[in-house]
Structure 1
Amino acid sequence: MVAFLTRRFFASLVVLAVASYIVYVLTCFSGNPLQDLLQSHAKNKELLIEQRVELLHLDVSPFLRYFIWLGGILQGFVGHFTLGYAINGQPVTDELGSAMWATLQLVTTAAVIAIIFGVLIGITTALRQYTAYDYGATFLSFLFFSLPIFWLAVMLKQYVAIGFNNFLANPVIGPVVIVVLSLVSGIVWLGIIGGNAKQRLIVFGIATVATGAVLAFISATRWFDDPGLGIVVVTLLSVGFAFLVTAVSTGLENRKSLYSSLTVVAIGAALYYPLQYLFPYMSLWLFILLGIVAVGVGILVGWLYGGHDRWASARTAAITAFLMAAVTALDRYMQAWNVYANSSSANGRPIATIGSVTPGLSGDFWITGIDQFTHLLLPTLALMLASLAAYSRYARASMLDVMNQDYIRTARSKGLTERTVVVRHAFRNALIPIVTIITLDFGALIGGAVVTETVFNWQGMGALFQGAINITDVNVVMGVFLVVGIATIVFNALADVVYSSLDPRIRVSA
């Protein structure tokens, strides 16, 4: 494996070098980086032109100028790495650094959410083929996949941002809206759960009544004015996660795993109030440390419970602990929502429509976290809905193909439970073709989402690349190209490693 990856790495470097040379030369001939100065009426026009020519080596032929740029990269081996200067005189590395961080925030969040929900929807629709749930998910997938991203972004601005901000001025849900949303919820859950006519009717009734009760409570208490979950809701949600994770991971018949998960929930509930005294002093590193501690406690509890498979119990308890930690953090963010929404920066309209931060905002870890969330919400939704549609279709097709294989029928004929057949045999093999799509898409997304970043005025890699193309800023264009090329190489190598881990039959030899 190491020899194979090494070979692939050096072959990819050769391809990247040839491609970068072609892109550099073509970009140089695509425009004139002195165009703005040539049209200028400044008195020191000639001096400015001379300075830019010297800064960007414009007096050298593009065919040879490439090697000056490449030399700056190779100097990195002796500690003087550089990608040259942009037209504005700033180092390209500085501009790439800020743009890359903005893009990573955006595309990582959107990609992770799209992958999780896309694969989940695709797998479940394959298992419920030709049901109302399958047809509904297919319709919505093709709908979002066909919508132009710029139109979807504008609709999100209008109805998710502006509409929700208007609703927050008087957060009361009308009776008609409650009835309609309750019926829609009942229909959705009826399609997902399925069963015979009696079971479907029971699911519809429970989902409808439960949704109506929750919406009525939210409206009557004006919950959106000062949202929060509290220890009761956090604990109930965590208990639900414990049963769900155990059912998928090991099956509810594995009592050791279930007891491990429930014990983790009990520990989390006992620590709920003590943690409230720690939260005002929260920082990013402390936040990460607490998450690691939560997972570590889950692993320890699962291991101590033992059973015939200690690691299964440890894995299940660790996932449950992580989910409970996430819900607890969400509850704390909600407690800070009222302060943020009514601050002078948000001015009662917290959902942002442009930019990545609120100018002039000051606050603690939780306030700045909410601010990042409100700015990420719309562009993340736009990217997620488009990507989710594609992932769900790929996952459905892959799962259907795997479920018709001979080894699946053999596993069922041996008496294995449906959970074991689906999770341990079908799911792992269905992920293999999906991994290819995910890794290639993620590598490409590092280059930025040009349309989405433009609509939401998000200063990421896409906006930087578009601006550089418009003014023929060759060094910036090549900087973006280099980042995307390296990301593609890395994620292709990662795909090879994941293939081998998903299917032990796949072995990459030297």
Structure 2
Amino acid sequence: MLNFLTRRLVAGLLTLFVSLFLMYVLVDIAIDPLADLRESTAPNKQQLIAARIELLDLNTNVVVRFLQWCGGVLHGDFGIAWKTGESVSDLVAHAIGSTLQLVTAATFLSLIVGVVVGIVSALRQYSAFDYVIIFLSFLLYSLPSFWVAVLLKQWAAIGFNNFLRDPWIAWPTLIAVALIAGLLWSLAIGGRAARRWQVFGIASAATFGMFAYLQLTDWWLEPKIGPILLLVMGAGTAFAFAAVFAGLHNRRALWASLTTVAVGFIAYFPMQTVFAMDIFSPDGNGASWFVLLLAIVAVAVGFLIGRLYGGPDWGVSARTSAAVAFVMAALIFVDQVMQVWGPYSRALGGRPIPTFGDRTPGLGGNYWVTVLDSFTHLVLPTATLVLIAFAAYTRYSRSSMLEVMSQDYIRTARAKGLPEREVVVRHGFRNTLIPLATIVPIDVITLIGGAVITEAVFSRPGMGQLFVKSLEEAQVDPVMAYLLITAGLAIIANIVADIIYAVIDPRIRLDA
């Protein structure tokens, strides 16, 4: 492993140096920091040009300037944006923070939804559900991101904000939505006709009941999860995770998960007092780190509960209950954020879903208001990236799953009498991830480089916008800082992809 990392890092650094040098030369050729002065009619035009040449050291050879820039980088100095006088480090720090928010949410959601839907589609090959997913994935994959972004701004933001003026959905519409949801679930679950009809009825009734509850309780104006929904959603999560990771026949894993839900339900009430502490006030510091600490504690408690249930395969129970604990902690966190929705919405004139920027200027409020404001600004750009990436991940995971499920070792596992759940989850799913291990890290780094079009449509001050704006303003230092970060992360992503590939596939040896 050490030899592999050493070789790859040395090769990566050499590649980074050469690519940065080429880009520095190309950027120097492409931009003209004197363009505005050449067209100026000022009487002291020549003096202004001379002053800028001296400021930017344009009389020095480009190779020397590149080496001087590299020397500054080695000392932590990325230069100055000469038009505004701002430090490039400060510009990049704000831009990459905004981009990381977007990338984290979009990658997490698109990967989970895309992989799950792709695997289910593969397991239902040539079914109606499979054809629907294939059609949707190719449709979304072919759509330009700017067009999706504009449609979301019109219908998901402006339309939803208008809906909040009179948040009432006609009952026939709710019935139609419930029937469509029931149909999709019945197609996804599959099985004999009687089973499909059973799933259709249960899913339709559950969907209609959920929307009826939201409508009759004015949930759209004052949304919250509350203890009852927390208990119901937690129990559903426990059964779902136990069924997938351990099988419902594994009673220890199931009871460990349900016990974790009960502990989370009890913890909900004292957590309301914890979330009212001064650390979450407008003047408080370290709230995000405190929330992260609480999440780690929640996962540790879930793992401990699974361990205490013991059994010969206690690891399965521990991992399952830890995953359930994470979901319960996330639901409690989301519930707390939802509790400030009413004041937040009223502060924005009843139009809480913004269509541009990454924060509301001069909003004020405590930590929870700040988090909610970040969430609402993330909704549209995240949905845009998720719809496009979801289509790609669905296609990758479906084709990979189909290939894996036709292998000899899958037939052997079935011949040994293993349950189908274990064949799919333990043998099929793990090997399905091998191609994604190469794709996902590169996709993440590509997004960190800036979703240029998406950020432009929603006016998010991220890395992509920083790059475009710096090029337009002929500022070489911010452009080179952007290229250094994206190129460096791309090299790291390739190394991480190789390591993940070796972890997933035991046939790969890094030191070979």
TM-score, structure 1 as length reference: 0.96
Cα deviation digits, residues 201-245 of structure 1 (max 9, x gap): 222222222222322232233221111122111011111111111
Amino acid at match of 1:501: V
> In the alignment, which of 287, 294, 298 is matched to residue 298 of structure 2?
294
Determine the C-alpha separation between the residues in 2 that align with 1:476 and 1:90: 10
Residue number in structure 2 paired with 1:143 = 139
Alignment of 1:243-262 (within 5 A): 243-262=239-258
**Matched residue SS, 1:225:** coil
Question: In angstroms, what is the RMSD of aligned CA positions?
Answer: 1.5
User: Take 1:406 and 1:251, find their aligned partners in 2: how far apart are those partners?
Assistant: 24
Match of 2:374 among 352, 372, 392: 372
Looking at structure 1, the residues matched to 203 and 427 of structure 2 have their Cα atoms a distance apart, in angstroms, of 32
Q: Does 1:329 align with 2:333?
A: yes
Is the 2:253–2:316 contact (alpha carbons within 8 Å) kept by the matching residues of 1?
yes
The answer on 1:476 being equivalent to 2:474 is no
Pairwise mapping of residues 28-427 of structure 1 onto structure 2 (< 5 A)?
28-42=28-42, 45-74=45-74, 76=75, 81-88=76-83, 89-281=85-277, 282=280, 283-343=287-347, 346-427=348-429
Separation in structure 2 between the aligned mates of residue 312 and residue 158 of structure 1, nearest angstrom: 46
Q: Count residues with an aligned counterpart.
A: 503
Q: Is the 8 A contact 2:237 2:324 kept in 1?
A: yes
Q: How far, CA to CA, are the matches of 1:491 and 1:452 in structure 2?
A: 22
Q: Contact 1:256–1:305 at 8 Å: present in 2 too?
A: yes
Residue aligning to 2:27? 27
Letter of the 1:32 partner, please give it: D
**Residues 379, 456 of structure 1: 8 Å contact kept:** yes
Q: Is 277-286 or 346-355 further displaced after alignment?
A: 277-286
User: Any idea what the Cα deviations from partners look like across 1:19-49, whole Å, max 9, x if unmatched?
Assistant: 1111111111113111123333456654543
Query: 1:419-458 to 2 correspondence within 5 Å?
Result: 419-458=421-460
Is contact 1:55-1:85 (8 Å) kept? no
What residue in structure 1 maps to residue 12 of structure 2? 12
CA contact (8 A) 1:110 1:383 kept: yes
Identity %: 49
With 451-460 and 48-57 compared, the bigger mean Cα shift is at 48-57
Matched-pair contact (CA < 8 Å) for 2:438–2:501: no
Query: What letter corresponds to residue 238 of structure 1 in structure 2?
Result: G
* Secondary structure of 1:198 counterpart: helix
Unaligned runs of 5+ in 2: 281-286
With over 3 angstroms needed to count, the CA separation of the structure-2 counterparts of 1:248 and 1:51, relative to structure 1, is: farther
Distance 2:392 2:216 in 1: 39
Structure 1 residue 410 displacement after superposition: 0.9
Distance in 1, matches of 2:152 and 2:321, equals 37
Secondary structure of the corresponding residue to residue 137 of structure 1: helix
Which amino acid in 2 is paired with 1:505? R
For residues 109 and 45 of structure 1, the distance between their equivalents in structure 2, rounded to whole angstroms, comes to: 49
Q: Deviations over 1:133-191 (max 9, x none)?
A: 11111111111111111111000000000000001111111123212212211211111
Relative to 1, partners in 2 of residues 1:394 and 1:112: Cα closer, same or farther, differing over 3 Å?
A: same
- Alpha-carbon distance in structure 2 between the residues aligned to 1:306 and 1:29: 67
Instruction: Give the alignment partner of residue 492 of structure 1, picking from 483, 491, 494.
Output: 494
Return the alpha-carbon distance in structure 1 between the equivalents of residues 466 and 129 of structure 2. 42
Task: Provide the secondary structure at the position in 1 that maps to 2:81.
Answer: coil
- Alpha carbons 1:333, 1:366 under 8 Å: kept: yes
Which residue number corresponds to residue 503 of structure 2? 501
Q: Which amino acid aligns with 1:421?
A: V
User: Aligned residue for 2:283?
Assistant: none
Contact kept? 1:173, 1:215, Cα under 8 Å: no
SS of 2:220's equivalent?
helix
How far the C-alpha of 1:497 sits from its partner, in A, is 1.4
Provide the C-alpha distance between the structure 1 equivalents of 2:107 and 2:482, rounded to a whole number of angstroms.
20
Is the Cα–Cα contact under 8 Å of residues 114 and 391 in structure 2 kept in the other structure?
Answer: yes
- Distance between the aligned counterparts of 1:348 and 1:95, measured in 2? 33
Q: In structure 2, do the counterparts of structure 1 residues 259 and 178 end up closer, same or farther at CA, with 3 Å as the change threshold?
A: same
One-letter code aligned to 2:437: V
Post-superposition, which runs of at least 4 consecutive aligned residues in structure 1 deviate over 6 A? none
Deviating more after overlay: 44-53 vs 246-255: 44-53
Q: Distance in 1 between matches of 2:222 and 2:378?
A: 21
TM-score (norm 2): 0.95
Distance 2:262 2:228 in 1: 12
Give, in whole Å, the separation in 1 of the partners of 2:423 and 2:295.
Answer: 32
Deviation larger for 347-356 or 31-40 = 31-40
Cα distance in 1 for partners of 2:305, 2:37 equals 68
